[in-house]
Amino acid sequence: MAVGRLRLKTRGYDFPPWRPPSEAWSLLLRVTRGCPWNKCTFCEMYKTMSFERRPLEEILGDIEAARQWYGQEVRWVFIGDSDSLVVRPSFLVEVLRALYRAFPHLERVTSYARAKTLRKRRLEDLKELRRAGLTRLHVGLESGDREVLEAISKGVTPEEVIEAGRKAKEAGFELSLYVILGIGGKGRWRQHASGTAQVLNQVDPHFIRVRTLVPRPGTPLYEQWQRGEFVMAEPEEILQEEERLVEDLEVTSHFLSDHISNYLPVEGKLPEDKERMLSMIRGGLKALRKDPSLKERYRQKAYLASL
């Protein structure tokens, strides 16, 4: 899809500026612009734009442009920007139906969603979206620790994430929950790991996707870090945090480290692969303690994550 994306830009196609790594080969369709919350201290993704809902005519025009270029090629679609469920369910159903009419071999349509919005949606509306062909939701948990969530201005509580996640599963969606290693900083990595595992255990999402914190210029967290108000966890603590998280998990999820910021490619299906995953983390910890130069190599990933 990368070449096609460049081709479509010449036609005025409005691309979502962000998508999950797992959607690298998906057609990208923008239903909203920006983020309706946009207060998370760690996130720079939509800080420079105001939130707005795109008119249906614009969206349908983009679908038609993509159909003319790709036609039978399209199997996956990702809907942006940050919280597509914030639009009226009936509006999103129209978009989904247009997608499936345009691309008869479509297999998967996914979207970002905010837990707060998901929680507020009526279960029947969510089921209607699922019947219309929305298959997977990507939701940022970041942490299950109440104090960490408050510190990063996530605007949601652990209980609300649990309710939202369970509702998404009941409606029939595949659910990806995202966790940020290191987001609790040096002081709360243990609580962050344990609280996050508790939330994940109660939701049991289909996918758990981890990222490692990289403070981004232009975000409140970056400024806190620069002023010394937020102290980054050391690489050893990051791996200890991941070890604690995996140890405490009692889920049937796929655990994925599908981001360049992560120190180790810890992946597997739980609970079957737990011991193998823990062995990798413990091996990484042992190597780090034996060879301190690894610490700088891990820190360099912050620069790669900016590419």
User: Which CA distances in Å does 281 have to 50, 208, 212, 235?
Assistant: 41, 16, 14, 12
292 and 159 in one domain? yes
What is the rounded CA–CA span in Å between residue 33 and residue 87?
A: 11
132 part of a folded domain: no
Contact 113, 85 (CB under 8 A): yes
Residues 98 and 159 in one domain: no
Q: Are residues 82 and 187 in the same domain?
A: no
Residues 6+ apart with CB under 8 A from 255: 208, 210, 246, 249, 266, 267, 268, 269, 270, 273, 277
Q: Write down the pLDDT at residue 4.
A: 40
CATH code of the domain covering residue 88: 3.30.750
Asked if residue 117 is part of any domain, the answer here is no
Residue 72: closest CA among 105, 97, 27: 105
Question: The domain that contains 257 carries what CATH number?
Answer: 3.30.750.200
Whether the Cβ atoms of residue 130 and residue 181 lie closer than 8 Å to each other: no
Number of domains the chain contains: 2
Same-domain check for residues 155 and 253: yes
Residue 41 included in any domain: yes
Looking at the structure, do residues 150 and 200 belong to the same domain, yes or no?
Answer: yes
pLDDT at 304: 59
Instruction: Please write the tens of the pLDDT for every residue from 161-200.
Output: 999 999 999 999 999 999 999 999 998 999 999 999 999 9
Residues 75 and 24 occupy one common structural domain? yes
What's the pLDDT score for residue 307? 41
Please report whether residue 19 resides in a domain: yes
Task: Indicate whether 14 belongs to any domain.
Answer: yes
- Residue 212 within a domain: yes
Helices (H), strands (E): how many in the chain?
13, 10
Task: Give pLDDT, residue 305.
Answer: 57
* Residue 54 sits in the same domain as residue 173: no
Strand residues in 101-232 grouped as ranges (E): 108-112, 136-142, 174-181, 207-212
pLDDT digits (tens, 9 = 90+) for 280-307: 999 999 999 999 888 888 877 766 555 4
CA-CA-CA-CA torsion sign (71, 76, 80, 85): positive
Residues 149 and 273 in one domain: yes
Domain check: are 288 and 147 in the same one?
yes
Give the integer Cα–Cα distance in Å for 6 and 15.
10
Would you state the pLDDT for residue 293?
87
Residue 13, token pair as written in the block: 């196609």
Which residue segment(s) compose the domain that 214 sits in? 137-307
Instruction: Give pLDDT, residue 3.
Output: 32
Residues 67 and 1 in one domain: yes
Residues 107 and 70 in one domain: yes
- Residue 124 belongs to some domain of the structure: no
* Strands, E assignment, the chain: 27-30, 32-33, 52-53, 76-80, 108-112, 136-142, 174-181, 207-212, 254-256, 268-269
- For residues 18 and 107, membership in a common domain is answered with yes
Instruction: Report residues of the chain scoring pLDDT below 70.
Output: 1-11, 302-307
Residue 199 domain-assigned (yes or no): yes
What is the distance between the alpha carbons of residues 17 and 5, in angstroms, rounded to a whole number? 12
Q: Which of 68, 59, 71 is nearest to 28 (CA)?
A: 59
Decide the pairing of beta strands 76-80 and 52-53: unpaired
User: At which of 112, 127, 159 does a domain end?
Assistant: 112
Cα separation, 137 vs 175, in Å, equals: 5
Q: What is the pLDDT of residue 302?
A: 67
